[in-house]
Amino acid sequence: MKALNLILTTSEHSKSRAKYLLIADALRQAIKQGQVAPSEALPSARQLAAQLNVNRHTIMAAVAELVAQGWVEAKERSGYRVVKQLPIQTSQSLISTASNTINSTSQNSTSKNNSALKNDAVITPSFNWQFRYKNTATISDTKSPSAYQYNFAGGQPDNRLFPFSEFKHCFSQLCQRPKFDKLGYGASAGEAELTEQIATYLRRVRSITDKEIMICNGSQEGLYMVSKLLLQAGDKVAVEQFGYPPAWAAFKSSGAELVIIEQDDKGIIPAQLATQLIKGDIKLIYLTPLHQYPTTVTLAVSRRLQIYQLAAQYGVAIIEDDYDHEFHYDSQPLAPMAADDPLGLVIYISTFSKLMFGGVRVGYVVANNELITQLSAYKALMNHKNNVLIQQAVAKWMQQGGFESHLRRMTRCYHKRRDFLVSLLRDYQRQGLPINFNCPAGGMALWVDMGVSIVGLKQKLQTKNVYLQTEIEFNLLTEQDDSQYRFIRIGFASMDENEVTQGMKIITQTLYG
């Protein structure tokens, strides 16, 4: 038999591969190219060994690999032959059969003379997914906000200031003395060390007591799970007119409808909520009471009480999303609604995404025992539990005091950065720009009325390496004309003074020329 043209790969990656695997790859390639046809014998091991200048055992190992992969079979007394039907042909022939079936079915059901659907034309059908929930945004064309030189994303912490070397010690301690009994399944509500640390912290700093905790993969998973457990198609969720789109998406994924409750400069209007509750079907109220997302307003105690009373009267649970509680600068932050919840109707959701960084994916739901039991069972169904090592590392970091020192450092830093942005905007006002805003008592962003339409601003800025969110993406009321969209949300936490100054210069020049 004539020698095969065998090309052994010499790429960087192939250097670490065993020789017999490289030979198996080359033989497979030769078979695919048709150098040896199906059912035809391979050259003998001796021939191949001589051609490639290797030991016969190496060739036998390569052939054995091809047998295992289904390309070659051993034939008694006649050596090794290429199989009759190559592995690639098997799936291709399945596709052809499916395609022919589809074609002939559609031919029968439509026109027999339809020349585009000839039985002999092999059209590769693409699988017809039947989505129950479909996202219309293409994930691949969404560049991450942190990939921009100037990232004004509202809730973005400054990841550069996270104490990685301190945190690394927590991890390495855990890896030096692994807790073998904790590395398996179970404990879907979270590692006891972490839930205990969080419970102590919440009791001390946020006055939340008598509730259970479940650790989740960031608040988003908590929102999604709550929506899966409590909502069904046709249910309604009362949300603030301006809000957090990922939460809306979680509710809508269960088939729920959003009911817009209007807000004023003091936050959501309780009378509007009452009007909607009377109409019925509302199953949940979603609120961001401390730093209303995106407007940053703190909901006054009197309104909180009114809302709680309404929820109690109509038997509706409240989700309180307290995503950046500690970053409050002018006074102590108001205690969460969950701290005064005699009926246990508040589902409190919070996160480490702002205190650490978004990719850490540690969040938690705090609620009464009945709900947490069900949520934990659902968590087990979805993904068993959160990553154990990261939970233990965060617990250790909290226990050793690193978490609270970092928090104090970052609160001081973000306080300064808020004040800097406020003074920069006041300078702009003095220069005559039609900018209007209230200085928020806390949070990581300012909600600013730019005095002119901001429609198209985000896209223009993206071409200038600036990421900025505008009112359009947060406002549920869409029937306004362009001139009515005037607000932007300027995150001030993730960049230093120099970066904010440069970025703001680009924003104002783009908007006002």
Ligand X SMILES: Cc1ncc(COP(=O)(O)O)c(C=O)c1O
Q: Which one among 43, 157, 190, 218 touches ligand X, defined by CB under 6 A? A: 218
Number of H helices and number of E strands within the chain? 15, 17
Contact between 351 and ligand X per CB under 6 A? yes
Partners of 260 in the β-ladder:
239
Least distance in Å: CB of 224 to ligand X? 9
Minimum Å distance from CB 474 to ligand X? 10
**Part of the chain binding ligand X (CB under 6 A), chosen from 54-62, 158-166, 215-223, 496-504:** 215-223
d(CA 335, CA 202): 10
Alpha-carbon distance of 507 to 421, in angstroms, equals: 13
Footprint of ligand X on 147-206 (CB under 6 A): 155
Q: Which residues of 53-90 are buried (b: 16+ CB within 10 A; e: fewer)?
A: ebeeebbebbbebbeeeebbeeeeeeebbbbeebeeee
Smallest distance from ligand X to CB 397, Å: 17
Amino acid at 276: Q
Ranges within 238-267 binding ligand X (CB under 6 A) = 244
> With CB under 6 A as the contact rule, which of the stretches 73-81, 125-133, 212-220, 484-492 interacts with ligand X?
212-220
For position 492 contacting ligand X by CB under 6 A, the verdict is no
Closest CB 361 distance from ligand X, rounded Å: 7
Among 358, 440, 443, 491, binds ligand X (CB under 6 A): 358
Dihedral angle, C-alpha 413, 415, 421, 425, nearest 10 °: -170
Q: CB-based contacts of 32: which residues, under 8 Å, 6+ apart?
A: 86, 88
* Least distance CB 145 / ligand X (angstroms): 10
288 binds ligand X (CB under 6 A): yes
- Angle at the Cα of 346 from the Cα atoms of 342 and 351, rounded to 5 degrees: 130
Among 71, 248, 323, 327, contact with ligand X (rule: CB under 6 A): 323
Count of CB atoms situated within 10 Å of the CB of 106: 13
219 forms part of the interface with ligand X (CB under 6 A): yes
Contact 205, 347 (CB under 8 A): no
Contacts of 71 (CB under 8 A, 6+ apart): 27, 28, 31, 82, 83, 86, 87
Stretch of residues binding ligand X (CB under 6 A), selected from 110-118, 180-188, 217-225, 493-501:
217-225
Stretch that binds ligand X, among 92-100, 112-120, 273-281, 350-358 (CB under 6 A): 350-358
Nearer Cβ to ligand X, position 267 or 363?
363
- Judged by CB under 6 A, the stretch of 41-49, 105-113, 218-226, 408-416 that binds ligand X is 218-226
> Coil, strand, or helix at residue 491?
strand
**DSSP assignments along 269-336, one per residue:** -HHHHHHHHHH--EEEEEE--SS-TTT-PPPPHHHHHHHHHHHHHHT-EEEEE-TTTT-B-SSPPPPP
Give the residue with the Cβ less far from ligand X, 336 or 363. 363
Nearer residue to ligand X within complex by CB, 295 or 376: 295
Interacting residues with ligand X (CB under 6 A)? 155, 218-220, 244, 288, 293, 321, 323, 351, 353, 358, 363
